[in-house]
Amino acid sequence: MNRLFQRFIKLVEWWAVLLLIMMVAVVLLGVFFRYVLNASLVWYDEFASYLLVWLTFYGAVVALYRRRHIGFDVVVNRLLPKTRRIIDFVAESFVLGFQIVLFYYGWYLTRKMGDETAVSLIWIKMSWVYSALPITGGLMLLISLIRLIGITFLNEKQRGDQAAWSGSSSE
């Protein structure tokens, strides 16, 4: 199952790469029209902003899976394994709480927006734009649940193989 999940995360990563390519293409198109053809596109700025939002959220899923978000690894990796496990559980629980909020209110916002459309692109429904919130919130929720199960029941090897810090400033 872990291998299948890794492949799924790889797919999310490629989706983020595609979003980045699309965003660059839209911005370059907007610049070309404005400065070469002297005819501004009214929609490119808004569309590029939506792509940036999606890129940010889907990139956050990949960063969470790879443990690339901000953390205090230097301190946590120096703790005794039992203490580190407790700290990891508490930290992951807080992250899980945030993801529950992101998923729930993202779902609520997506449903609430219903058939509202974008300002300059009337064929884009705002619920499509906001759907990134519950989708990525749900994916991150799944990642955190798997980690909490690993921390709690599987006694998996945690980050850092260094010896525990004794508290001495000479280390």
- Within 36-80, residue ranges assigned H as helices are 44-65, 73-76
| Residue 65 to residue 115: CA distance in whole angstroms | 33
Comparison of pLDDT for 168 and 134, the residue scoring more: 134
User: 0.75 cut: is pTM over it?
Assistant: yes
* Cβ neighbours around 131 below 10 Å, total: 17
Instruction: Decide if pLDDT at 16 tops 80.
Output: yes
- Lookup: tokens for 123: 């064929």
- At 1 the pLDDT is 67
Whether pLDDT at 160 is above 60? no
* pLDDT computed for residue 157 by the predictor: 54
Residue 161 has pLDDT above 90, yes or no: no
How far apart are alpha carbons 41 and 39 in whole angstroms? 7
Tokens standing for 26?
């839209």
Rounded to whole angstroms, how far apart are CA atoms 46 and 120? 7
User: How far apart are alpha carbons 134 and 61 in whole angstroms?
Assistant: 12
Which helix (H) or strand (E) is 164 found in, with range?
none
Q: 155 pLDDT band (50/70/90 cuts)?
A: low
